[in-house]
């Protein structure tokens, strides 16, 4: 079978005081559990090696901030994860904070079953703010700490098919899935940290789980691909984050979902050929998509740009 049994390894909270070796042990334990379930690939969360530090205000260059970033992958503390994965013959998606050549990225890597890195993605849609604002109930300062990803949305050959990556807020944007869908992605892997209770208006917090599944189920169906998504969740340093990690079929159906807010492994048999009917018929982009008829949508419309004039007819 192309594809195979895919695991999602959701993580409960990571305390600020937790060391990298302690976190890596948690990841290894879940990798072993995934092996017991016959998985050949496992998806870990966004920023899976540390607490979600963008909730706090640091000055750039502060050593405490810089310590959240990896300067090499694998490094001495993450190597055991790669070694175990190679022993077990499991590939994985891992999110972490990456520092390279003076740049800081919110990054994910893809490995094959030998512990070799075969793909990298750097988060494009960075939510939140650059400057803290004491009137907010909680901060989300990804724009302060990370540079915008410079790798696009690449799709890699893996699991005898095509596998792409996204990170957290990316999952809310249809273009994330479509850019990978246009490259024939059969599985989109992603990790997330989604806090609630930062002072959202009206029902937004209550709808956080609904919007989580809504965006990913739509992305899977519209692009005829599997989506495997892992949360870091629960009460982390006094801040609540949603769980609801899931695996979604190309039909848009949820086929596995976590029920806890802790470390938890789920798995599903993801046959890439199950996507072929939709890729060949309903979402055959080459045959049915009509970008030349979409008009202004092909022009760049950025934040703060005036809205384009409306044609009268
Ligand atoms: N990590 C991440 O991207 N989280 C965002 C929450 C943003 S709330 C300011 C998300 O879209 O889930």
Looking at the CA of residue 127, tell me the nearest atom of ligand 1.
7
Q: Are 13 and 269 in contact (CB under 8 A)?
A: no
User: What is the distance between the alpha carbons of residues 272 and 187, in angstroms, rounded to a whole number?
Assistant: 8
Sign of CA dihedral 252, 253, 259, 264: negative
> Does the residue 288 lie in any domain?
no
> Does the residue 311 lie in any domain?
no
DSSP state of 36: H
The model's pLDDT over 267-293, given as tens digits with 9 standing for 90+, comes to 999 999 999 999 999 999 999 999 888
Looking at the CA of residue 140, tell me the nearest atom of ligand 1.
9
Structural domains of the chain, count: 1
Domain containing residue 144 = 3-282
d(CA 35, ligand 1 centre) in Å: 30
> Does the residue 296 lie in any domain?
no
The model's pLDDT over 4-18, given as tens digits with 9 standing for 90+, comes to 999 999 999 999 999
235 Cβ neighbours under 8 A, 6+ residues apart: 13, 241, 261
d(CA 259, ligand 1 centre) in Å: 21
Tell the residue nearest (CA) to atom 4 of ligand 1. 194
> Does the residue 312 lie in any domain?
no
Pocket test for ligand 1, best of 168, 211, 229, 240 (most atoms within 8 A of CB): 168
> Does the residue 310 lie in any domain?
no
Q: If pLDDT is split at 50, 70 and 90, which confidence band does 301 have?
A: low
CA distances from 218 to 214, 223, 251, 254, 270 (A): 6, 8, 9, 11, 17
Pocket test for ligand 1, best of 55, 193, 240, 241 (most atoms within 8 A of CB): 193
Please tell me the total number of residues recorded for the chain in this structure: 313
> Does the residue 291 lie in any domain?
no
Peptide bond into 74 cis (omega under 30): yes
Looking at the CA of residue 168, tell me the nearest atom of ligand 1.
3
Tell the residue nearest (CA) to atom 10 of ligand 1. 169
Pocket test for ligand 1, best of 139, 169, 172 (most atoms within 8 A of CB): 169
Q: Name the CA dihedral angle for 41, 45, 50, 51, rounded to a multiple of 10 degrees.
A: -160
The model's pLDDT over 195-219, given as tens digits with 9 standing for 90+, comes to 998 877 767 678 999 999 999 999 9
The model's pLDDT over 47-76, given as tens digits with 9 standing for 90+, comes to 999 999 999 999 999 999 999 999 999 999
Q: Are 120 and 70 in contact (CB under 8 A)?
A: no
CATH assignment at residue 272: 3.60.110.10
Active site residues per annotation: 46, 123, 168
> Does the residue 150 lie in any domain?
yes
Tell the residue nearest (CA) to atom 1 of ligand 1. 193
Q: Are 180 and 194 in contact (CB under 8 A)?
A: no
Which of 62-71's residues contact partners 24+ apart within 8 Å by CB, and which partners? 65/145, 66/99, 68/97, 69/97, 69/98, 69/99, 69/104, 70/96, 70/97, 70/98, 70/99, 71/99, 71/100
d(CA 140, ligand 1 centre) in Å: 8
Percent of the chain topping pLDDT 90: 87
> Does the residue 313 lie in any domain?
no
Looking at the CA of residue 52, tell me the nearest atom of ligand 1.
1
The model's pLDDT over 222-233, given as tens digits with 9 standing for 90+, comes to 999 999 999 999
Looking at the CA of residue 212, tell me the nearest atom of ligand 1.
12
The reply to whether the predicted model has a pTM over 0.85 is: yes
Q: Which residues line ligand 1 at a C-beta cut-off of 6 Å?
A: 46, 127-128, 140, 168-169, 172, 192-194
User: What is the distance between the alpha carbons of residues 42 and 82, in angstroms, rounded to a whole number?
Assistant: 12
Q: Which of 197 and 93 is assigned the larger pLDDT?
A: 93
């Amino acid at each position: 079978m192309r594809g195979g049994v895919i695991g999602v390894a959701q993580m409960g909270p990571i305390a600020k005081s937790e060391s990298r070796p302690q976190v890596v042990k948690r990841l290894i334990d879940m990798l072993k559990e995934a092996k017991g379930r016959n998985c050949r690939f496992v998806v870990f969360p966004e920023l899976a090696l540390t607490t979600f530090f963008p909730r706090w205000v640091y000055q750039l260059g502060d050593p405490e901030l810089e310590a959240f970033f990896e300067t090499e992958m694998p490094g001495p503390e993450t190597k055991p994860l790669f070694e175990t994965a190679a022993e077990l013959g499991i590939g994985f998606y891992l999110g972490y904070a990456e520092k390279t050549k003076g740049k800081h990225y919110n990054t994910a890597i893809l490995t094959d079953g030998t512990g070799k890195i075969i793909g990298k993605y750097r988060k494009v849609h960075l939510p939140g703010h650059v400057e803290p604002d004491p009137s907010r109930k909680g901060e989300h300062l990804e724009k302060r700490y990370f540079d915008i990803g410079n790798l696009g949305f690449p799709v890699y050959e893996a699991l005898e098919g095509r596998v792409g990556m996204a990170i957290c807020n990316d999952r809310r944007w249809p273009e994330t899935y479509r850019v990978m869908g246009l490259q024939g992605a059969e599985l989109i892997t992603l990790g997330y940290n989604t806090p609630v209770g930062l002072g959202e208006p009206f029902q937004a917090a209550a709808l956080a789980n609904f919007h989580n599944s809504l965006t990913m189920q739509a992305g899977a169906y519209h692009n005829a691909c599997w989506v495997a998504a892992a949360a870091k969740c629960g009460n982390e340093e006094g801040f609540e984050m949603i769980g609801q990690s899931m695996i979604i079929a190309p039909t848009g159906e949820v086929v596995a979902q976590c029920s806890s807010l802790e470390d938890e492994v789920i798995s599903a048999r993801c046959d890439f050929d199950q996507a072929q009917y939709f890729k060949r018929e309903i979402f055959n982009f080459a045959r049915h998509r009509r970008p030349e008829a979409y008009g202004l949508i092909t022009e760049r419309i950025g934040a703060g740009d005036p809205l384009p004039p409306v044609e009268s007819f």
